[in-house]
């Protein structure tokens, strides 16, 4: 699978919302996809990430495959500061563990 976006998107956006897309990608593509998404964001601007979440020790189960925090924390090595992070159980029955986080690209 090839992940390619228009060159005009690089650094072009003040805000990007990534909601539930990464978790449907096979684990071996997630880091590449998140890196590419992060490159869309201009300096000083924000990325909001929303996904299902699990512990490393938990099985991934079936699609959608919950992310692990290590996969999300890659953003910190790509020049982002975590401004907000929430790990919570939603109101579904049974409850589903989810993550919401806001990251700012350092200027």
Sequence spans of domains, the chain: 11-105
The residues that bridge with 73 in the sheet, in sequence order, are none
Residue 33 and residue 11: Cα distance in Å, rounded?
A: 15
Residue 55 and residue 34: Cα distance in Å, rounded?
A: 19
pTM over 0.75: yes
Structure-block tokens of residue 92? 């579904």
pLDDT level of residue 61 (50, 70, 90 thresholds): confident
pLDDT level of residue 62 (50, 70, 90 thresholds): confident
pLDDT level of residue 54 (50, 70, 90 thresholds): very high
CATH of 11-105, one of 3.30.230.10, 3.40.50.1000, 3.40.50.150, 3.40.640.10: 3.40.50.150
pLDDT value at 1 more than 80: no
């Amino acid at each position: 699978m090839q992940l390619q976006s228009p060159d005009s998107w690089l650094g072009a956006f003040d805000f990007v919302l990534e909601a539930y897309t990464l978790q449907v990608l096979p684990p071996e593509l997630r880091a590449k996809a998140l890196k590419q998404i992060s490159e869309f964001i201009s300096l000083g601007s924000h990325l909001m990430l929303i996904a299902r979440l699990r512990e490393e020790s938990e099985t991934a189960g079936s699609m959608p495959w919950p992310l692990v925090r290590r996969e999300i924390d890659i953003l910190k090595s790509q020049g982002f500061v975590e401004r907000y992070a929430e790990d919570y159980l939603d109101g579904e029955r049974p409850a589903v563990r989810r993550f919401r986080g806001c990251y700012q690209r350092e200027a």
